[in-house]
Amino acid sequence: MRYRPFSLAVLGASLLAPAHAAGVAQPGDLRAFVLAASCAACHGPDGHSPGAIPSLAGKSARFIEFAMQEYKSGASAGTVMNRIARGYSDDEIRLIAARLGRREEVR
């Protein structure tokens, strides 16, 4: 497992590249990035999950926030997400959802 730290560094750098290309990140952007980065371990760096883990790719921020709140409250049970979601405040869940969710068009 001596390649694991290197792999994590590469993953972190690849996730930072779009933020750097877009300009200087605001403090909330960096916080959202850090919070959402842990999701990539199970849901994939691009949101496409292997196996039975639900993919987040293409999901709206609203859907992700709703699902996280359902896990946090215990309304959706039976997965590790219940324990994970309870570790986040409502504000942190909003940041994660905004970071991971696809942009919804305003009409």
Domain that includes residue 80, residue range: 4-100
Contacts of 36 (CB under 8 A, 6+ apart): 95, 96, 99, 100
Task: Give the span between the Cα atoms of 81 and 53, in whole angstroms.
Answer: 11
Give the pLDDT confidence of 21-74 residue by residue, as tens digits. 555 556 568 999 999 999 999 999 999 998 899 999 999 999 999 999 999 999
Q: Looking at the whole model, is its pTM more than 0.85? A: no
Give a yes or no: residue 107 inside a domain: no
Give a yes or no: residue 74 inside a domain: yes
Give a yes or no: residue 56 inside a domain: yes
| Residue 44 one-letter amino acid | G
Please check whether residue 43 is in contact with residue 79, taking contact to mean a CB–CB distance below 8 angstroms. no
> What is the number of structural domains in the chain?
1
Give a yes or no: residue 106 inside a domain: no
Give a yes or no: residue 105 inside a domain: no
| Residue 12 one-letter amino acid | G
Give the residue among 43, 31, 40 at the shortest CA–CA distance from 92: 31
Q: Give the CATH number, domain containing residue 22.
A: 1.10.760.10
Give a yes or no: residue 9 inside a domain: yes
Give the pLDDT confidence of 67-104 residue by residue, as tens digits. 999 999 999 987 899 999 999 999 999 999 999 998 55
